[in-house]
Amino acid sequence: MAVVRPLEYKFPKKFSQLISLHKSGSTWVFSYIHKQFRKMGITMPPNNLYSEFFYIDRRLDEKNYTSELDFSHKVKNEFIKRSLEERFALLELLRKFGLELAQKAHVPEIIDIWPRFKEFYKDYDILVLKRRHIFSHYLHMLFFYCVQQAVGPHFLKGKEEEGYTHIVPSKIHHGRSEDILKSTILEYNVQFKHHDKYLKKFTRNIRFLNDVVIEELDKPEVIFTEDITTQWLRDRFNEGVDLKKTVEPFKTLDFATYFKPEELKIVHDKLYERFDNEFKYMGYLFQ
């Protein structure tokens, strides 16, 4: 059963494990966990290719995968080729040497490996991160799903890095990224609308987080992103020490404005039906 602790709680000094859905502020929170592990464990390069340790890019298994976008740098990366079994083997080997690896876990990537994941991290200080405002969360995720449907996963066309720019939607890599995203939307004529398949996926992940992860773990700390402050993160993971670099959200994007009013109403009504039937009982607000 979950324990919701007050923010002034004195946290135990042991390894931390973050679990959340995508677009919940996990990159922001994990940046502090990554810093914490530099003092007590093992860290990998601080980008999502490595920190999302259990993510497997299924497209690399497709023998005849073709796209106008260039994935060659991923194909050549040895880490991205490793299977889940090989990745668990790495974690187990490190543990034999008394070392633990910093990584964040997103729900879609751990559903199929949940029993093993739960057992492996049972002694960790586990933080479950949720976004209270579920409509804003869903609209954020649906926005990028619509972009991906039009463009192709993870890559947006730009004029840097040999023709294409890798954009992580939760943060800005450089000053032009947001402009590149906006120009990409125009170039590919992205259609922002309801996708029943994606709503079902989102619902499945919300249920798994609340009904399985939170219920089956031994006293995880559950906290809403909206309640977190930078000071809390400093105290929680870094003994009051701030980071030199922090994650920033996109500054001028209003996701709702990209949906036509009639499409936004469909998105709103479809999600509200799920919210009214079950999500409101999980602590979410329809905002």
Percent of the chain with pLDDT over 90: 57
Identity (one letter) of the amino acid at 206? I
Residue 263, classed as helix, strand or coil, is helix
Max mean pLDDT range (11-15, 121-125, 171-175) = 121-125
Instruction: Please tell me which residue, 89 or 49, carries the higher pLDDT value.
Output: 89
What is the rounded distance in angstroms from the CA atom of residue 134 to the CA atom of residue 206? 10
Per-residue confidence (pLDDT) for residue 159, from 0 to 100: 43
Q: Which of 8-22, 35-49, 268-282 is predicted least confidently?
A: 8-22
At 113-136, the pLDDT tens digits run 999 999 999 999 999 999 999 999
Q: Which residue, chain included where needed, has tokens 């995508």?
A: 22
Q: What is the pLDDT of residue 79?
A: 83
Q: What is the pLDDT of residues 48-61, one digit of tens each?
A: 778 899 998 765 55
How many residues are present in the chain? 287
| Tokens, residue 142 | 């649906």
Instruction: Identify the residue with better confidence: 234 or 155.
Output: 234
Listed in sequence order, the residues at least 6 apart from 93 whose beta carbon sits closer than 8 Å to its beta carbon are none
Instruction: Using alpha carbons, select from 223, 158, 275, 281 the residue that is nearest to residue 11.
Output: 223
Task: List all residues 6 or more positions away from 55 whose beta carbon is below 8 Å from its beta carbon.
Answer: 48, 106, 109
94: CB partners within 8 A, 6+ apart = 42, 100, 101
* 146 phi/psi in degrees, rounded to 5: -65, -40
Q: How far is CA 215 from CA 3, 44, 96, 106, 112, in A?
A: 10, 30, 29, 17, 17
The pLDDT of 141-155, averaged and rounded, is: 81
In the chain, domain spans = 16-282
Inform me whether the pLDDT recorded for 3 exceeds 90: no
Query: What pLDDT was estimated at residue 86?
Result: 94
Q: Which has more pLDDT, 194 or 172?
A: 194
CA 239 – CA 232 distance, rounded (Å):
10
What does the alpha-carbon distance between residue 286 and residue 121 come to, in Å, rounded to a whole number?
Answer: 32
Is the pLDDT at 173 greater than 70, yes or no? Answer: no
pLDDT of residue 70: 44
Distance, in Å, from the CA atom of 249 to the CA atom of 91, rounded to the nearest integer, reads 31
Q: Give pTM, 2 decimals.
A: 0.84
* Among 274, 132, 259, 255, residue whose Cα is nearest residue 191: 259
- Taking each helix axis from N to C end, the angle separating 26-40 and 230-237, rounded to the nearest 10 degrees, works out to 30
Residue 91: pLDDT band with limits 50, 70, 90: very high
SS3 of residue 58 by DSSP: helix
Tell me: pLDDT of 12 over 50. no
User: Which stretch of 67-71, 152-156, 176-180, 271-275 has the lowest confidence by average pLDDT?
Assistant: 67-71
